[in-house]
Structures are given as structure tokens and as C-alpha cells.
């Protein structure tokens, strides 16, 4: 709805501007060609472009408008990320109802993650063809039907299929939201905005089990209500987005402007770069191999990608692992076990509240110059500072819980994990966005694909791993991986510029 109003408003603006241009504001007539000669290409077409201060550019919209857009987008991300952890606390009840093992029931979470991994490959090209707004709204609308299907699922097969399709539909929102931030905010202001978006991505999977634990423990509600709650909040957010979220993809906005210029002038030569760019099929042929190529040829993508893989593997393995870390050793009911996830949320929220400080630091770094660029390596500082804490909190969680040790010890380790999770996410994503420019979407889709695919596999392995080798050695094994990866942000801070200079895709 908002996009339709936006399109019509742009049409009125173009007609008004054309009328002013042809009369010169004083009755003098000028031809449209006199106003756009510099934008003609070799074929005689008149290319519609935008200057740095053009009002059509979303980066020049009012700060209030852009903050509203980010708030609505964050809610869309929140509810679809919430779905990832929604059923985790109902594992025992669902497996009993469907007649499958608890390990098999973990497939409901794994299929959601694999759906996101699959969809992330096509979400970018789709959004660059039809725009961000219809991509978000259509995919979320479809997502609602599959959440409904999961809530009504009469058997295990239906549940698993619906969960995969929930993930597939969610992939658009969860994989291209970084592009929407880049559409609307220049580098310095992204230091303030991106922690908010990151919070909306990483926190819902640990908030959903809190609600799920209390729902499952209720004697008045079926475990299926974990999906009904997801459906209710998701439908409300979709309606809000439908009425308030505008289009922010500048190439498409320029295409709209070109269409209006053709109408008001009758001159068919007006066009845009988006209109003359590749079709969706061509975009797919070009884009599909790139994520795999990025992982094979770009050290930055490979290393930071594996770092995020480890963090997400931990995050989603905890959906099963908390039974072994907290529930069994401390004899906790399901409701309290779910509430233990709040410790991770405390950590992510604490870091997100540092966003104003990060923004002020970035402003100081650029000496308060309007529109100044930030060196990509500057973005790595949150990850550099917190990366050494990951192995610390994993060893802590593995060896300082249970056995008469206070539960607050383990919860403290989870708070630290939450801080590391969002700090590395923010540092890595912003570094990649700034480093790869127009190729950032492909770079991020590459990481998203691998991150969710591996996380889905870890979810299936989590229960057997915790049962066979125990909490102590499971956490120790994962902590060893964290030790190996801990220096990565610092090394990229030091050698990143040289690596970018050698890269075929990164900005020098």
C-alpha cells in the first residue's frame, strides 16, 4: 500500500517539476532535453540518474522517516527470526504426539534453517528485480500460511514440510535486510542503525523459547500454541508493514521516475539503468555461482563466514543443549529452562544499547565531516574486542555448571555469549558491506547460506553430541574452534586493506 502511494506521489512530483522546467517558472519554455543532456548515452536514450542530494535517494529522506522504516523492518525480522526457536521447548510434547524421537523432532528446527539457506540464494536477485518492498511483503504473506500449516499439522511429515517452507519464505527478510540499511543510511550512520538490525536478527531465537517454555508448561494450552502465538504477532507486523513500509531500492525508484517522465513528456527515450539491466533469469545465472565462488576465493568471506557459522551453530544447538546444561543438572521445569535463554538476550541487548556510542565514535573518527566514508577495518573493532571472550565463555559454560555450582554461573557465561554473538555479527556484516560495495549482497548471501545450512546440521547432531560426550567435552570441542578463530578480526584489521587490493570483488 505504501509503495503505491509512494509511486503516485513521485508521479505528481515529476509532473510538477516538469511543468516548472518547461516554463522556467516565469513563462519561458525549455525542452526536456535541455535539462538532461548530460545524461544521454550513446544510443540517444536519456538516462534518469540521482545526485548525492537528490530527494529521491532514500539516504536523503528525513531521519524520522528512515528510523520509522528501520523500526518496521526490525519487527519483520524479529517475528520471522522468532519462528526459528518457537517450537524448541515443545520438543518432548511434539515428539510424543507424532510418535517420533526427540532427535527426529529436532528436524522441525533444522528444516527451518535449511529453508533459509536455500532461499538466501535467490532473495537478493529477486529484491533487485522487483524491489525490496514487494519481496518483504509477498514472502512474509506466504510465510503466514505456512506458520498456520505448522500450527494445524496433524502429523510429523506435515510439520517438517511446513517448517522448511516457513524458513524458505523467511529467507527474503532475513537475508536482504542489510541491503535495506545500505539503501537508506550512509556509512557513519550505519554505525548506529546496524546494531539495532543485528539485535532483531539474533535475539528472537532466544526470546521465543522463553514464551514457548511457559506455553508448554501451561495446563490450559496445547503445545501448538507456540505456533499460534508466532502467527498472531507475525500477522500484526505484516499488516503494519503493508501500510507503512516504502520502497527503498534506489535503482527501482529511478525506474519509476523514468516511467513518469515518459508519461508527462511523451518522450520514450527516458529510461533508467535498472530498466536496461539484466532480467531476473540473467541475474540468477550470474548470481547463483557467486556465493560458492566467494567462499572459495575470498579469505575474508571464508574466515568471517566460518566465525558466524560457529556462532549460529552454538545459538541453535542451545535450543536442545539447555536441557543438558540447565534442565537436567538443576531439575528445572520446562518454563524455567526456557527462561534461561533470557541470559543470552540480556547480552545481545546490552551490546545493542551501545549503538549510540559506536555512532559517536564513528563520527569522531571521520572528524564530523558530512558524508565522510569510514575505513572498512574500523568496523571490526567490536569483533576484535569480544572475540577472545567466546572461548572463555564456552569453557566457562562447559566446566562451571552443574555439580553443585550455582546456576548463575552458567547464566553469566550465556550473557557473555550473547555479547560476543551480536558484536561479531555487527563487526563482520558492516565490514563486508563496506568492503564489497555493490557485491556486498552476494557476499552476505554466501555467508547466510553456509551459516544456516551448517546450523541446521548442528541442530540434528546436538542431542546425540551432548548425550554421548557430555556438556563438558562438547563445550570444550567448540571452544577449541573458537580459539583458532579468535585472532581473525585482528588479522583482518591489520591486513584487510592488502587483501581487498588483491580481491576481484572488494573495493580497494
Q: Give the other-Cβ count within 10 Å of 54's Cβ.
A: 14
**Least trusted range by pLDDT, from 17-26, 182-191, 480-489:** 17-26
pLDDT band at 176 (very low <50, low <70, confident <90, very high): confident
pLDDT band at 64 (very low <50, low <70, confident <90, very high): very high
CATH 1.20.1250.20 fits 58-249+287-502, yes or no: yes
pLDDT band at 408 (very low <50, low <70, confident <90, very high): very high
**Least trusted range by pLDDT, from 58-72, 176-190, 337-351, 432-446:** 432-446
CA distance 254 to 269: 14
Confidence (pLDDT) at 53: 82
CA distance 191 to 427: 10
CA distance 353 to 199: 10
Confidence (pLDDT) at 72: 95
Confidence (pLDDT) at 35: 44
Whether residue 32 is predicted with pLDDT greater than 50 in this model: the reply is no
Q: Give the other-Cβ count within 10 Å of 333's Cβ.
A: 13
Whether residue 382 is predicted with pLDDT greater than 80 in this model: the reply is yes
Confidence (pLDDT) at 445: 79
Tell me the CA end-to-end span of the chain in Å, nearest whole number.
41
Whether residue 66 is predicted with pLDDT greater than 90 in this model: the reply is yes
Confidence (pLDDT) at 395: 94
Confidence (pLDDT) at 24: 59
CA distance 132 to 249: 6
Q: Where are the domains of the chain?
A: 58-249+287-502
Mean pLDDT of 291-308: 83
Report long-range pairs for 9-13 (Cβ below 8 Å, ≥24 apart). Answer: 10/56, 10/253, 10/256, 10/257, 10/260, 11/256, 11/260, 11/263
Q: Which of 113-122, 295-304, 433-442 has the highest mean pLDDT?
A: 113-122
**Of 77, 81, 85, which is closest to residue 321 (Cα–Cα)?**
85
Please tell me whether residue 213 adopts helix, strand or coil conformation. helix
Amino acid at each position: 500500500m505504501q509503495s503505491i502511494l509512494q509511486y503516485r506521489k513521485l508521479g505528481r512530483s515529476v509532473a510538477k517539476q516538469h511543468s516548472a522546467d518547461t516554463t522556467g517558472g516565469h513563462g519561458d519554455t525549455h525542452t526536456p532535453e535541455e535539462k538532461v543532456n548530460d545524461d544521454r548515452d550513446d544510443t540517444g536514450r536519456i538516462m534518469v540518474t540521482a545526485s548525492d542530494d537528490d530527494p529521491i535517494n532514500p539516504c536523503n529522506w528525513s531521519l524520522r522517516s528512515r528510523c520509522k522504516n528501520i523500526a518496521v523492518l526490525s519487527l519483520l525480522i524479529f517475528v520471522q527470526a522468532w519462528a526459528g526457536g518457537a517450537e524448541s521447548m515443545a520438543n518432548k510434547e511434539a515428539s510424543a504426539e507424532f510418535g517420533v524421537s526427540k532427535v527426529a523432532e529436532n528436524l522441525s528446527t533444522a528444516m527451518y534453517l535449511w529453508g533459509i539457506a536455500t532461499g538466501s540464494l535467490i532473495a537478493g536477485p529477486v529484491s533487485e528485480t522487483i524491489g525490496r518492498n514487494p519481496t518483504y511483503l509477498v514472502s512474509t504473506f506466504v510465510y503466514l500460511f505456512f506458520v498456520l500449516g505448522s500450527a494445524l499439522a496433524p502429523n510429523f511429515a506435515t510439520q517438517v514440510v511446513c517448517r522448511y517452507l516457513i524458513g524458505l519464505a523467511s529467507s527474503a527478510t532475513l537475508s536482504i535486510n542489510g541491503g535495506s540499511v545500505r539503501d537508506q543510511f550512509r556509512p557513519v550512520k550505519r554505525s548506529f542503525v546496524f546494531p539495532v538490525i543485528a539485535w532483531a536478527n539474533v535475539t528472537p531465537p532466544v526470546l521465543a523459547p522463553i514464551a514457548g517454555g511457559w506455553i508448554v508448561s501451561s495446563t490450559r494450552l496445547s503445545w501448538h500454541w507456540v505456533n499460534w502465538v508466532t502467527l498472531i504477532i507475525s500477522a500484526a507486523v505484516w499488516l503494519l508493514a503493508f501500510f507503512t513500509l516504502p520502497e527503498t531500492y534506489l535503482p527501482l525508484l529511478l525506474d519509476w521516475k523514468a516511467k513518469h517522465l515518459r508519461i508527462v513528456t511523451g518522450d520514450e527515450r527516458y529510461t533508467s539503468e535498472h530498466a536496461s539491466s539484466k532480467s531476473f533469469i540473467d541475474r540468477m545465472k550470474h548470481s547463483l555461482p557467486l556465493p560458492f565462488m566467494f567462499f572459495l576465493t575470498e579469505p575474508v568471506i571464508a574466515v568471517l563466514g566460518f566465525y558466524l557459522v560457529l556462532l549460529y551453530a552454538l545459538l541453535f544447538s542451545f535450543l536442545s543443549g539447555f536441557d543438558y546444561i540447565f534442565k537436567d543438572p538443576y531439575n528445572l521445569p520446562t518454563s524455567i529452562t526456557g527462561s534461561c535463554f533470557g541470559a543470552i538476550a540480556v547480552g545481545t541487548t546490552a551490546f545493542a544499547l551501545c549503538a549510540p556510542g559506536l555512532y559517536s565514535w564513528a563520527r569522531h573518527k571521520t572528524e564530523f565531516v558530512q558524508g565522510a566514508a569510514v575505513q572498512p577495518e574500523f568496523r571490526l573493532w567490536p569483533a576484535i574486542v569480544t572475540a577472545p571472550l567466546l572461548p572463555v565463555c564456552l569453557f566457562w559454560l562447559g566446566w562451571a555448571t552443574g555439580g553443585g555450582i550455582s546456576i548463575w554461573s552458567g547464566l553469566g557465561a550465556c550473557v557473555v555469549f550473547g555479547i560476543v554473538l551480536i558484536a561479531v555479527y555487527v563487526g563482520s556484516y558492516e565490514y563486508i558491506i563496506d568492503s564489497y560495495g555493490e557485491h556486498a549482497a552476494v557476499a552476505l548471501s554466501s555467508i547466510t547460506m553456509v551459516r544456516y545450512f551448517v546450523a541446521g546440521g548442528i541442530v540434528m547432531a546436538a542431542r546425540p553430541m551432548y548425550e554421548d560426550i557430555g556438556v563438558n567435552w562438547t563445550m570444550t570441542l567448540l571452544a577449541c574452534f573458537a580459539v583458532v578463530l579468535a585472532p581473525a578480526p585482528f588479522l583482518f584489521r591489520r591486513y584487510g586493506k592488502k587483501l581487498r587490493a588483491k580481491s576481484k570483488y572488494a573495493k580497494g
